[in-house]
Structure 1
């Protein structure tokens, strides 16, 4: 009888310790997944903020282009005005010969600077958009990592709860076996072979099933 009791006690302790250790391991895993999710979410926010800031580069580039265009046009206007003043002071016809060629060359250079400013703006805008797209892609990847970590955290929590429940159920089974061995406990069959009574010595008690 005492051997049965010792065996039952050992089974109970073993089941509880097993369930507890598995629950502790699952809790650690859940905490690890939670930390990974927090880090990934924080990284996602940082990357999205960087992308938002980078997008402002298009506005900055447009403002710089407008400023440069204004400077080019003003410098061109002053240069052409100075040329016309020179032609007038020297009694030169601005619509003929060298004066006309000089003004044409000046106008061509002004237009070239205007065109180059536009090209520079388009290149800068393309670079900004490429950088923003890269940052958005990295943010999406980080968000995916956060989601995967959250799924892992939830799975670990469920696994830990299940392990703990299994430990208690195992302890209960060991306890019933111990009582059966110590007191002549037996289960009476009900309909379909399902136990309906518990027999302890000469007494019968209602069973759960």
Structure 2
């Protein structure tokens, strides 16, 4: 993707008269592409009505949390943003359309933030998470921050939680020291590989 350390994964489907079959996650193939393992420590699901906007969400580093996001029912406009301080792609975002039919997934590395807009009622998103949830480590960023100018393509007022509606701007999160440092992220990724930063 345009966002470093984020990947869109498209499965190879086997189709016959019954329907189709595909692998949505395979640790060895993903580790080969990432250059490091992706341990699954927690699996989450969210179910949203059409017009629900969730995000932008991330996890403070440490502990950090990488995610694989998959739409198992419905459809979403999914956005990943690089907010790692010092990253050559700071502020860069990538838009993906995820739906249950495609089986496409998005890998979001530690230090990146992510959000989505539900495009259908009863949309269900699955998240494979590399670490367990630790209270107090969630990073919430205003999805409408003018500094990011994200293309949500809204046609009406979104349904949002009070937490997301009142989330910090990028500048506020930066000033509060909440954004991950790019070099610290690289060191974290290297530690997962069992080596030093290149």
Higher helix share: 1
**Structure 2 length as normaliser, TM-score?**
0.17
Higher strand share: 2
Higher relative contact order (CA 8 A, sep 6+): 1
Task: Please say which structure displays the higher CA radius of gyration.
Answer: 1
